[in-house]
Structure 1
Amino acid sequence: MPDTSPHTSPEAAPVETREAIHEARLWVDHGWTARVIKNEDDDGWAVEMLLDGQAEPALVGPWTMGRDKKNPKPLDNHAFNTLVKTAAEVVRRHEQQLHASLHKEVLVNAAAARWRVTLDIVPDEFEPHALLSACDEGGEQVAQVRARPDFKLNHSNALAWIESGFAKPR
């Protein structure tokens, strides 16, 4: 039976572990692929880091030339581990930026109470919308309504929403 915990999603489904490959221009291990490629912008080389299950590289950067100044330096364990660390950080920052762009929060004093009002944008391809929520001082959700995805959450809009009795914003 599939795991239906709130922390799992189709995007987070585990990717089948592939066999490790350690070659001069291709290194596959720990869910990442490092591939040394010809840099199309000049005579040099580049390396791309691809997270298993993703279509686009998480990181593409310049790669060092070898001693002959024609071929790329071969990948090794130390270089691969450094690339994994850097690419994972890029992925983490991208996820943080996406979360910040889809989640807004303001604190408002109204009706003799302090409220935490949040706006969570749901970027659905066919029916994008947002969920506007209010929580009381104890953290209990008191209201939640569906709003337009372009609703601007700020102090004055949150205050007006609370004062309207949590009516759906226009």
Structure 2
Amino acid sequence: MDLDHEPATRAHEARLWRDDGWTAKVIKNGDDDGWAVEMTQEGEDEPALVGPWTMGRDKKNPKPLDSAAFITLVKTASEVLRRHEQQRHALLHKNVTIDSGSDRLRIDLDIIPDEYEPYAELSAHNGFGEELARVRVQPGFKLSRESAADWVANNFARPS
């Protein structure tokens, strides 16, 4: 986040609610005659959540935003972002545990998705969490118990 960037001013309007780093904006649903609400976190260009919004009593205009709806929307959008981050973490960080002699080793694969030169790092940790080895590998390296055991058996030499 840009530290020179002024926080957005608070707004509590029928179709625009801005508070606590989030903006809820009720918009016309392009697909039909209904309405949608988009939730955007401060500093982001794209909304974290876009969903249908309730019609008002006149069945023409949207229901006005209010504090309770805004709180619910913030919780929902935050959960969407949290799940997205968990999924991204699961794609980029994998580990297996293997037995090696009298020690149990945790082998980690951390993918670094650099735009120009992506790579991965393979590391081994003993039962106390101490790092025993670390090597750079191709980002497509397939970590399995078998590939981890082979790496350990080869004295942590960089896999080909």
Q: Partner of 2:142 in structure 1?
A: 152
Alpha-carbon distance between aligned partners in 1 of 2:21 and 2:4, rounded to the nearest angstrom: 10
Q: Partner of 2:103 in structure 1?
A: 113
Q: Partner of 1:165 in structure 2?
A: 155
In the alignment, is the contact (CA less than 8 A) between 1:48 and 1:57 conserved in 2?
Answer: yes
Q: 1:88 to 1:12 in 2, by over 3 A?
A: farther
Q: Partner of 1:98 in structure 2?
A: 88
Alpha-carbon distance between aligned partners in 2 of 1:91 and 1:66, rounded to the nearest angstrom: 29
Alpha-carbon distance between aligned partners in 1 of 2:2 and 2:97, rounded to the nearest angstrom: 32
Equivalent pairs, count: 160
Runs of 4+ in 1 over 3 A off after TM superposition: 11-16
Shift of 1:111: 3.3
In the alignment, is the contact (CA less than 8 A) between 1:24 and 1:74 conserved in 2?
Answer: yes
Q: Partner of 1:3 in structure 2?
A: none
In the alignment, is the contact (CA less than 8 A) between 1:15 and 1:52 conserved in 2?
Answer: no
Shift of 1:43: 0.7
For residues 45-93 of structure 1, give each alpha carbon's deviation from its aligned partner in whole angstroms, at most 9, with x where no partner exists: 0000001111111100000001111110110011000000100011011
For residues 107-165 of structure 1, give each alpha carbon's deviation from its aligned partner in whole angstroms, at most 9, with x where no partner exists: 00123321000000000001100010000111100100001000000000000000000
> Which of 11, 17, 24 is the matching residue for 1:27?
17
- Which ranges in structure 2 are unaligned for 5 or more consecutive residues? none
Q: Calculate the aligned-residue CA RMSD, in Å.
A: 1.5
- Which ranges in structure 1 are unaligned for 5 or more consecutive residues? 1-10
Matching of residue 84 in structure 1 with residue 64 in structure 2: no
Q: Partner of 2:58 in structure 1?
A: 68
* TM-score computed with the length of structure 2 as normaliser: 0.96
In the alignment, is the contact (CA less than 8 A) between 1:59 and 1:87 conserved in 2?
Answer: yes
Q: Secondary structure at the match of 1:105?
A: strand
Alpha-carbon distance between aligned partners in 2 of 1:160 and 1:13, rounded to the nearest angstrom: 47
Identity %: 61
